[in-house]
Amino acid sequence: MHPPISSEQQSAWTSLVFPGAGTQEHFSPLDGSLIAALPKSEALDVDGAFEKARRAAQSWKSESFAHRKRVMMRFHDLVLEHQGTLLDVVQWETGKSRASAFDEVADVALTARYYANSAETHLRPEKRQGALPFVTQTRVHFQPKGVVGMITPWNYPLTLPLSDAVPALMAGNGIVLKPDAQTPFSALSALHLLYQAGLPEGLFQVVIGDGPELGTAIINNANFVMFTGSTATGKIVAEQAARRLIGFSAELGGKNPMIVLDDAPLERALEGAITASFSNAGQLCMSIERLYVHEGIYDRFVPRLIEEVRKLRLGTAFDFSYEVGALISAEQLEKVQAHVSDALERGATLLAGGSHRPDIAPYAFEPTLLTGVTEDMMLCRGETFGPVVAIYRVSSDEEAIAMANDTRYGLNASVWGSKTRAESVAVQIQAGSVNVNEGFTASWASTDAPMGGFKESGVGRRHGREGIQKYTDVQTIATQSGMNVAAPTGMSAEAFTRAMTTGLRLMKYLPFRK
């Protein structure tokens, strides 16, 4: 039974979408019920959305950091105050469990508070060493890009649009967002709160419609593009952004490994493996899909893991009575089933799960463990993006590191063991974030630290200083006092060259200072 959505809520959703000529209906993966119909945009509508956001951004960029902070802190409070409604909407349009939905609410509040408090520090003009000591004063300024185009996926429809938008807004930009057509309502619900918090009218525009058409139109208008999605689409975004010579940042796919060393804390590692593998039914870019267990702990760890996975409850209720929700769509279910079926047909062993559960929800699939996964199986290297994990036995730290790194991806990894040994392994993993004695939450929730991918898992970073400075153009202003950096009147070029050479030799002995 879906939650009651008032006519006022549906009217608010519609009012926040840039108007188009048509409409598009949106259905819940929980039961196929209609959530609402929203305006459907075309490329020309995207042009209009950018015009509107650009006008609003002209005044927004002149607002003080103190003013922007007040807006963002009010938004933080409203998100927590209205979390019940946000949780309902996230669950209804994604099918995820309520605990996984709360992860999104908590993340948006955490990110809003972080950038409200840190944006001014990250973007404060910086004094840099000038060309000539004492007479050149050089500062670096961070100017907002203008209007940021954002293209976000369906798996975290609240976190990814809003937690990326917060630093862009705090940096003084406008936004045009294209959420995934399957899941627009979470972002719209939060945007409604953002406007209640005092965001200027028109600054944050939303367009909904065909992905390739609107995506291209966004890239053709934006001053910077933030994309989250598949590696294949990310490469297209990169090509289109390059043609316009605009910056972009992208978080892309992953085939994330977890290594369990033979001195790992067994109970914590079991709990961590469950959370890291099956949160949001495995539909998480940072989710663990490969599990490497040292032979010294394998025979204790794996049977216990099987036991715990079989205890996981699937469900669709709007409460906390179960751990694993449904997959998002028939397409995603088909992909997960294909990976599992192909592995079993080619000789893999099923340890737990493996079945579609239409009795629970149209796209529900059991948390699944397999072993004996080999190179000829789709599951081995392809991103499954579902509740499926392949387990491998390893005999040494070196073997585990080599196998973990043997992938074109490098988004997230997890290492479990004694602190010193696990950290030694962690720094050898080719991934943008590595969690020691945690799955993914510790690095993701460390909002002061950059998060992103190595190799084909992404370009650029979100979170931290890097996550807000990317939404700015870096400008150097150098002020020269007393003399020009050129030969004074009456001095020959040759004499000036000799004088400068002497000066350069002396400058070698001056202390470096910023």
| Phi, psi dihedrals of residue 32, rounded to the nearest 5° | 80, 5
Q: State the Cα–Cα distance between residues 238 and 301, nearest whole angstrom.
A: 42
What is the 3 state secondary structure string of 295-329? HHHHHHHHHHHHHHHHHCCECCCCCCCCCECCCCC
Inter-residue contact 227 to 249 (CB < 8 Å): yes
Length of the chain: 514
| Phi, psi dihedrals of residue 210, rounded to the nearest 5° | -60, 125
Question: Which strands make up the sheet holding 126-128, listed edge to edge?
Answer: 126-128, 136-144, 472-480
Interacting residues of 432 by C-beta distance below 8 A, sequence separation 6+: 410, 411, 412, 450, 451, 452, 453, 454, 457, 458, 461
| Phi, psi dihedrals of residue 178, rounded to the nearest 5° | -115, 100
**Residue 380 a catalytic site member:** no
Q: State the Cα–Cα distance between residues 261 and 395, nearest whole angstrom.
A: 10
Inter-residue contact 261 to 415 (CB < 8 Å): yes
**CA end-to-end span of the chain:** 62
**3-state secondary structure (DSSP) of residue 363:** coil
**Residue 251 a catalytic site member:** yes
Angle at 163 between CA 23 and CA 176, to 5 degrees: 40
**3-state secondary structure (DSSP) of residue 203:** coil
Q: Within a 10 A sphere around the Cβ of 345, how many other Cβ atoms?
A: 9
Inter-residue contact 71 to 56 (CB < 8 Å): no
- The one catalytic residue among 285, 323, 366, 456: 285
Q: State the Cα–Cα distance between residues 298 and 263, nearest whole angstrom.
A: 11
Burial (Cβ within 10 Å: 0-12, 13-18, ≥19) of residue 340: buried
- The one catalytic residue among 93, 104, 251, 289: 251
Q: State the Cα–Cα distance between residues 257 and 415, nearest whole angstrom.
A: 9
Q: State the Cα–Cα distance between residues 363 and 368, nearest whole angstrom.
A: 15
Locate 308 and state its tokens. Answer: 């715990």
Q: Give the DSSP letter of residue 462.
A: B
Query: Across-strand partners of 24?
Result: 38
Catalytic residues: 251, 285
